């Protein structure tokens, strides 16, 4: 489905460009001179797409599971295609704002659905996973339309910094500011109710990152506002986290089912490291972790995982040790560009740069202990944020 949507998006983009050429009646050279700023189909764009695509192809060719690896390669191509569409289609600052509000609106929708389901007010049949997983599966956790509440937390931890970035930098009326504060606090409360320990840590680190950058930024005139918002967020979080379900969830770090405890995660990671050691050159192939991991399952766990519960480990396991170099390169390029954008005179450019960087910080923190980037919805959001953060706007 994602692949079809990306292909249709590309076709629509081509048709729209063709219509604009016909309407304007301009020559090819004139059209070229009016290409969107920032990352256009050229050297800069291929510095991002090229290494990722090459790594995926190499790993697929060398995979001991070629059929499944080819499916993973198709999925990777869909993500790269979506990244390309975001870069070339979101051209203006107005379109940039629209995308931010689409993300914020989607996050709010997920929270509303999650609250309705969490308190048994209204459970939509197509998002009710109780028949397959059991009535008590995640009954006390806010999961929205997701099966796993940790993945809901992954979406929120990327959306929250984006909303705060637009609020802190861009000038707005008092009414709009109040509305944005309420939206941000609503998302933060829902993040706490996901009972995702990784989500809590990721959101906290992202907020600390934003506050640190703003306080160290020369010429930023709203440092007192930032301090006030930080205190408000901390107080709200403490109130929510004082609830019994939250305290119970914290205790599962060392108690409860071994699959959900720190011991279980460490066991999965030990097996994944052994898997990386045996497949250093090219990994087992993209999307093959579930079938390649069983021989490396460490005794003590009754459940075979679908993911490594760590994107940082799963990517090298599936695509080889070269994945580490590619990840470091992409992270460097993204943050280098982001800090350059922070020096812009345009407040919106600063806000989007700060918000996207904080969102990436959040997902990187959470990816150390979970597999959010294995979930298509979260991977697409991550891809979109990277695309928006890397390009400039008219």
Longest dimension (CA), the chain: 69
Per-residue pLDDT of the chain (394 residues; tens, 9 = 90+): 666 766 766 666 666 666 666 666 654 444 443 444 444 445 677 888 899 999 999 999 999 999 999 999 999 999 999 998 888 888 788 888 889 899 999 999 999 999 988 888 877 776 777 666 655 555 678 888 898 899 999 999 999 999 988 876 666 677 777 888 889 889 998 998 898 888 998 998 999 899 888 888 776 666 776 777 777 777 766 666 565 555 555 555 544 455 566 777 888 899 999 999 999 999 999 999 999 999 998 776 777 888 899 999 999 999 999 999 999 999 999 999 999 988 888 888 888 999 999 999 999 999 998 999 999 999 999 999 999 888 755 4
In angstroms, rounded to a whole number, what is the distance separating the alpha carbons of residues 33 and 142? 49
DSSP string, 322-376: HHHHHHHHHHHHHHHHHHHHTT-S-HHHHHHHHHHHHHHHHHHHHTTTS-GGGSH
Q: At what angle do helices 66-89 and 2-24 cross, to 10 degrees?
A: 30
| pTM for this model (two decimals) | 0.85
Which candidate, 35, 4, 38, places its Cα nearest to that of 17?
Answer: 35
CA quadruple 113, 116, 120, 122: dihedral sign: negative
Structure-block tokens of residue 118:
């969490």
**C-alpha distances in angstroms, 181 versus 114, 160, 167, 224?**
20, 11, 8, 15
Q: What local confidence, expressed as pLDDT, does residue 33 receive?
A: 38
CA quadruple 314, 315, 319, 324: dihedral sign: negative
Which candidate, 51, 7, 16, places its Cα nearest to that of 36?
Answer: 16
Residue found by looking up tokens 């991977």 in the block: 379
Decide if 359 contacts 206 (C-beta within 8 A): yes
Q: What local confidence, expressed as pLDDT, does residue 248 receive?
A: 53
Q: What local confidence, expressed as pLDDT, does residue 1 receive?
A: 62
In angstroms, rounded to a whole number, what is the distance separating the alpha carbons of residues 183 and 178? 9
In angstroms, rounded to a whole number, what is the distance separating the alpha carbons of residues 272 and 266? 10
Q: What local confidence, expressed as pLDDT, does residue 222 receive?
A: 66
Within 13 Å and on the Cβ side, how many CA atoms surround 32?
5
Q: What local confidence, expressed as pLDDT, does residue 153 receive?
A: 95
**What three-state secondary structure class fits 139?**
coil
In angstroms, rounded to a whole number, what is the distance separating the alpha carbons of residues 159 and 191? 11
In angstroms, rounded to a whole number, what is the distance separating the alpha carbons of residues 279 and 274? 9
**What three-state secondary structure class fits 171?**
coil
Q: What local confidence, expressed as pLDDT, does residue 261 receive?
A: 66
């Amino acid at each position: 489905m994602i692949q079809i949507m990306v292909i249709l998006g590309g076709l629509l983009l081509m048709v729209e460009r063709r219509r604009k050429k016909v309407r304007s009646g301009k020559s090819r050279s004139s059209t070229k001179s009016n290409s969107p700023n920032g990352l256009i189909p050229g050297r800069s764009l291929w510095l991002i797409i090229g290494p990722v695509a090459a790594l995926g192809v190499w790993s697929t060719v060398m995979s001991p599971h070629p059929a499944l690896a080819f499916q993973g390669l198709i999925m990777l191509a869909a993500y790269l295609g979506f990244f390309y569409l975001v870069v070339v289609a979101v051209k203006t600052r107005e379109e940039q704002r629209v995308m931010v509000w689409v993300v914020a609106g989607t996050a709010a929708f997920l929270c509303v659905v999650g609250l309705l389901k969490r308190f048994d007010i209204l459970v939509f049949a197509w998002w009710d996973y109780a028949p397959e997983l059991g009535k008590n599966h995640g009954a006390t956790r806010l999961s929205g339309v997701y099966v796993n509440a940790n993945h809901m937390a992954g979406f929120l931890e990327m959306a929250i910094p984006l909303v705060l970035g637009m609020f802190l930098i861009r000038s707005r009326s008092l009414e709009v500011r109040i509305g944005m504060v309420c939206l941000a606090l609503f998302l933060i409360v829902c993040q706490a109710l996901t009972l995702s320990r990784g989500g809590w840590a990721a959101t906290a680190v992202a907020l600390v990152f934003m506050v640190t950058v703003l306080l160290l930024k020369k010429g930023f005139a709203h440092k007192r506002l930032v301090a006030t918002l930080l205190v408000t967020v901390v107080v709200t979080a403490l109130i929510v986290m004082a609830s019994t379900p939250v305290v119970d969830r914290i205790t599962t770090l060392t108690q409860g089912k071994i699959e959900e405890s720190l011991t279980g995660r460490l066991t999965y990671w030990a097996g994944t490291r052994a898997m990386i050691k045996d497949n250093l050159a090219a990994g087992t192939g993209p999307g093959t972790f579930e079938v390649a991991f069983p021989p490396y399952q460490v005794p003590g766990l009754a459940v075979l995982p679908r993911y490594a519960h760590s994107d940082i480990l799963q990517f090298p396991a599936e695509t080889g040790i070269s994945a580490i170099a590619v990840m470091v390169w992409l992270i460097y390029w993204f943050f280098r560009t982001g800090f350059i954008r922070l020096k812009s005179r345009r407040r919106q450019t600063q806000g989007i740069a700060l918000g996207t960087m904080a969102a990436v910080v959040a997902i990187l923190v959470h990816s150390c202990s979970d597999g959010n980037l294995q979930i298509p919805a979260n991977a697409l959001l991550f891809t979109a944020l990277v695309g928006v953060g890397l390009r400039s706007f008219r």
